Amino acid sequence: MRASDAERERIAEALREAVAEGRLTMEEFEERLEAAYKARTHGELEPLVRDLPAPGGGAAVSLVKSPGAAAAPAAADWASRIGGGPVSGPVAIGVMGGFQRKGTWTVPRRFTAFAFWGGGEIDLREARFEDGEVVIRCIAIMGGMQVTVPPDLDVHVGGVGIMGGFDDKASGAGTPGSPRVRVTGFAFWGGVGVDRKATKAERRRLREARHRELE
């Protein structure tokens, strides 16, 4: 059966509870969370929590929503990060050097990143977005580029690697209201990687929750 956004979020919340309780390491949590948001069917979701109890001490995590269960995050959570504010420059260049775009920068509708004998870092975990759909074009020639996205962002990777690599493992749906980010371009004698990772704030929240559990 096809999985819904609410079911993916329910599995994600169970994983957050598990890492806060010390049942999963942070590495296991990030790996399973990435798989949860990329899952298309119940068969892909269920193995991610098969060895975990349900939050609150239940026997197992269920994909069937129980009465009174919390809803998935509202679209308004993402809406506050779409539109408004000054937009960052549409181009980033690293020639025999590097560039960074990270923190609370605003991603323009069309953003082009170019690296030649150099490298670049594009981090969207705390970014704002000019529009609900943006395109990031990455061109790496004899260089490398890393794109980091939050686990709940809608991401579609469609680049090409020629004698190089263009990693598409982070492709997958996000939570309701998430901006849609398309990562395109090509790598020639170089590489472009796209990874899903939790934000620093999320990591800190999980650590604090785990400390409270241990007190």
| Lowest mean per-residue pLDDT among 51-60, 164-173, 202-211 | 51-60
Average pLDDT over the chain, rounded to whole? 82
CB atoms near residue 154 (< 10 Å): 21
Nearest 5°: the CA angle 35, 183, 181 is: 70
> Which segments within 106-179 are labelled E, that is strand?
106-107, 110-116, 119-123, 128-129, 133-141, 144-149, 154-157, 160-162, 165-166
Domain boundaries, the chain: 5-72, 79-196
Distance (Å, rounded) from C-alpha 188 to C-alpha 27? 30
Element (H, E) at 213: helix 200-214
- For residue 40, CA distances in Å to 1, 60, 70, 199, 200 come to 9, 21, 21, 24, 27
Give the per-residue pLDDT at 70: 39
- Percent of all residues in the chain with a pLDDT value above 90, rounded to a whole number: 33
| Residue whose structure tokens are 């069309």 | 110
pLDDT over 50 (residue 3): yes
Q: Read off the pLDDT band of 99 (50, 70, 90).
A: very high
What three-state secondary structure class fits 36? Answer: helix
Nearest 5°: the CA angle 127, 35, 172 is: 55
Query: What is the per-residue pLDDT across 128-142, written as a single tens digit (0 to 9) for each?
Result: 999 999 999 999 999
Task: Compute the half-sphere exposure of residue 188: CA atoms within 13 Å on the CB side of its CA.
Answer: 6
Which tokens is 138 given? 């990455």
Nearest 5°: the CA angle 149, 174, 145 is: 20
pLDDT over 90 (residue 163): no
